[in-house]
């Protein structure tokens, strides 16, 4: 049963998704900290905490907390805090002390937080909203008691860990994706783009085709960094879950060669984080969904896993949890109108497009919901969880904008709605660049490349089927409060235009302009951001006058509508050229 409990918490934790840890023995040790009967717990009290934690960092408080019965440990005591710089970190959390780090005897707050999340996701510990604390569950105690004499996992521990993994919905989602055919072999990007609530910050995926083209055109010194670090949040989750499953023998990591095309030219690269399901993985998946003689494994769902980022995450979590409550408490198929009425009775006024996207998101996190004749059937079993209803919930202007655009996207996949989030997050500027290029090349019929890096524009696009083909130099800017196009960045665009016009290797030896085909002789420029403020129009007009080419500023919402109009057959490349590059701001919304 899903219970609605009014709560007055000012801050909610980020549970439900894990990014860093993969060591199963360390996970078992973390769970054992919560069990007074375990050797690990006694070791923490008698030697580890006294040795690693200074009194000023909480030694006495931690030992006192670990000795209390019944044992409930507060989040702040478990995770501790960060230090700047990281190299100066001291151990100031119980879980920091419980796990040995690389090059030191403890881990810092971020991996400690993720170990707590992991134990919670697998149902080994449970959370109390009233006092921000955790305690061990029956399944957690069973895992602790299954420990053998060796450091290696016992067979019983492996069995319990597999069962716990199968109760975590995203694990089932990943296994399901990998089992679609006998030959299924997926990269982390191919899994990530189908994992979570696609189309919002917190569930982003690097566009694989754009990534492979970028790799092919990168300097040799950049390639290893790109392969190691360039990924969206859902790609990270996919990689992490696959690592757990690999450690449990349910999937294998097998590098995959990926080829993408740009016109008549192909680009090929190998993506190491790619996976196939094993025979034990198929058996485990069948067991999880209750095939043959097996009972379906009940899934652990928590309110926090239903949205991870943004000022509206409590609103989104609650809306999605209410949809899940409506579906799970009905034995028959449910229409979207019934769901909308249920939401409205709880203070949420939504439409069928929003409901449909939320249900797709629930499916993408691994919850079985079937759709037939426009009605939804909950076909799963979930353990009880709480909706900690905040004192007040209101839809922000930001969410209103996304939902207004969502209603208009009838041909464009809604995964591109994440561009609206990315356009306001400067920490994800590279992903914003790449998804913008992906939108234009994969959905709007242009050819093009993400460039970026030193002395290159963010990207270029061009046509190849028009009577007179044209190219566009693109600069994307992610700013939280809008983009005013300062003189320095207008000058930078002017330099790129000039380099393309003169094509003098003495001015810029990287020759980025050679990515334009020789028959493209007409050019434009484009700035893309969340929205524009200040004196940006005069800067665009100045660039146009100085370089004798037209350009535009386009808010990402309008770019989405422009691509939607192209896919609907309402705009052609020629019409886009005429209407968009107006030396001002192009607006459709």
The residues assigned a catalytic role are: 458, 475, 477
Look at residues 258, 170, 178, 244 and name the one whose alpha carbon lies nearest to residue 211: 258
The token pair that represents 128 in the structure block: 């109390």
The token pair that represents 558 in the structure block: 């309008």
The token pair that represents 406 in the structure block: 């969502």
Query: Could you give the CA distance from residue 329 to residue 345 in angstroms, rounded to a whole number?
Result: 16
Gyration radius from the chain CA atoms: 26
Find out whether 369 and 343 touch, Cβ atoms under 8 Å: no
Look at residues 269, 212, 273 and name the one whose alpha carbon lies nearest to residue 238: 273
Query: Could you give the CA distance from residue 303 to residue 321 in angstroms, rounded to a whole number?
Result: 6
Query: Could you give the CA distance from residue 219 to residue 222 in angstroms, rounded to a whole number?
Result: 5
The token pair that represents 426 in the structure block: 């400067």
Place of tokens 């052609």: 572
Query: Could you give the CA distance from residue 434 to residue 428 in angstroms, rounded to a whole number?
Result: 10
Place of tokens 């691509």: 563
Q: In DSSP terms, which residues pair with 192 in a beta bridge?
A: none
Query: Could you give the CA distance from residue 309 to residue 14 in angstroms, rounded to a whole number?
Result: 9
Look at residues 328, 421, 349, 348 and name the one whose alpha carbon lies nearest to residue 389: 348
Look at residues 416, 430, 422 and name the one whose alpha carbon lies nearest to residue 214: 430
Find out whether 2 and 362 touch, Cβ atoms under 8 Å: no
Per-residue CA distances from 442 to 365, 438, 449 (Å): 25, 5, 11
Q: In DSSP terms, which residues pair with 186 in a beta bridge?
A: 275
| DSSP single-letter state for residue 444 | S
Query: Could you give the CA distance from residue 40 to residue 376 in angstroms, rounded to a whole number?
Result: 47
Residue 123: phi, psi to the nearest 5?
A: 80, 15
Q: How far out from the chain centre does Cα 155 lie?
A: 33
Count the alpha carbons within 13 Å of 482 in the hemisphere toward its beta carbon.
Answer: 9
> Please, which residues have CB within 8 angstroms of residue 350's CB and are 6 or more apart in sequence?
319, 340, 343, 344, 403
Look at residues 30, 89, 90, 85 and name the one whose alpha carbon lies nearest to residue 57: 90
Look at residues 366, 413, 482, 432 and name the one whose alpha carbon lies nearest to residue 204: 432
| DSSP single-letter state for residue 86 | G
The token pair that represents 282 in the structure block: 């198929």
Query: Could you give the CA distance from residue 28 to residue 249 in angstroms, rounded to a whole number?
Result: 17
Q: In DSSP terms, which residues pair with 73 in a beta bridge?
A: 134
């Amino acid at each position: 049963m899903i219970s609605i409990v009014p709560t007055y918490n000012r801050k909610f934790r980020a549970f439900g998704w894990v990014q860093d840890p993969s060591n199963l023995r360390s996970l078992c040790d973390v769970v054992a900290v919560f069990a007074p009967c375990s050797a690990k717990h006694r070791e923490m009290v008698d030697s580890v905490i006294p040795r690693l934690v200074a009194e000023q960092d909480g030694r006495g408080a931690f030992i006192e907390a670990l000795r209390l019965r019944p044992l409930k440990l507060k989040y702040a005591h478990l995770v501790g805090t960060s230090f700047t710089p990281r190299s100066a970190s001291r151990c100031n959390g119980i879980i920091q002390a419980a796990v040995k780090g690389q090059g030191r005897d403890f881990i810092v707050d971020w991996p400690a937080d993720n170990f707590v999340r992991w134990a919670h996701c697998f149902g080994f510990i449970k959370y109390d909203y009233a006092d921000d604390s955790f305690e061990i569950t029956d399944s957690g105690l069973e895992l602790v008691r299954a420990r053998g004499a060796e450091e290696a996992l016992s067979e019983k521990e492996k069995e319990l860990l597999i069962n716990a993994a199968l109760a975590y919905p995203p694990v089932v989602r990943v296994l399901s994706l990998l089992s679609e055919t006998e030959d299924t072999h997926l990269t982390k990007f191919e899994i990530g783009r189908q994992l979570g609530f696609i189309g919002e910050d917190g569930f982003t995926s690097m566009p694989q085709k754009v990534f492979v083209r970028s790799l092919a055109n990168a300097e040799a010194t950049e390639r290893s960094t790109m392969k190691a670090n360039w990924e969206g949040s859902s790609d990270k989750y996919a990689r992490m879950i696959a690592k757990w499953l690999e450690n449990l023998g349910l999937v294998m990591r097998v590098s995959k060669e990926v080829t993408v095309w740009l016109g008549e030219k192909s680009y090929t690269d190998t993506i190491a984080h790619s996976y196939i399901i094993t025979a034990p993985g198929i058996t485990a998946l069948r067991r999880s969904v209750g095939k043959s003689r097996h009972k379906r494994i009940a899934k652990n769902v928590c309110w926090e896993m239903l949205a991870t980022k943004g000022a509206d995450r409590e609103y989104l979590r609650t809306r999605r949890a209410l949809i899940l409550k409506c579906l799970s408490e009905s034995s028959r198929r449910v229409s979207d109108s019934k769901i909308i009425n249920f939401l409205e009775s709880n203070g949420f006024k939504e439409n069928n497009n929003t409901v449909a996207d939320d249900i797709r998101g629930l499916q993408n996190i691994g919850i079985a919901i079937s759709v037939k004749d426009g009605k939804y059937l909950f076909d799963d079993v979930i353990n009880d969880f709480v909706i900690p209803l905040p004192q007040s919930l209101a839809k922000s202007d930001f969410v209103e904008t996304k939902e207004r655009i969502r209603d208009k996207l009838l041909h464009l996949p809604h995964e591109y709605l994440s561009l609206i989030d990315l356009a306001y997050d400067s920490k994800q500027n590279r992903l914003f660049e790449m998804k913008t290029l992906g939108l234009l090349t994969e959905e709007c019929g242009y050819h093009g490349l993400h460039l970026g890096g030193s002395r290159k524009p963010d990207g270029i696009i061009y046509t190849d089927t028009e009577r007179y083909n044209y190219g566009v130099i693109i600069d994307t800017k992610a700013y939280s409060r809008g983009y005013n196009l300062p003189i320095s960045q207008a000058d930078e665009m002017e330099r790129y235009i000039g380099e393309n016009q003169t094509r003098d290797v003495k001015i810029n030896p990287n020759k980025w302009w050679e990515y334009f085909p020789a028959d493209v002789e007409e050019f434009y420029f484009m700035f893309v951001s969340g929205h524009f403020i200040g004196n940006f129009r005069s800067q665009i007009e100045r660039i146009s006058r100085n370089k004798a080419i037209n350009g535009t500023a386009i808010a990402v919402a309008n770019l989405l509508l422009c691509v939607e109009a192209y896919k609907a057959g309402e705009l052609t490349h020629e019409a886009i050229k005429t209407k968009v590059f107006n030396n001002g701001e192009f607006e459709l919304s």
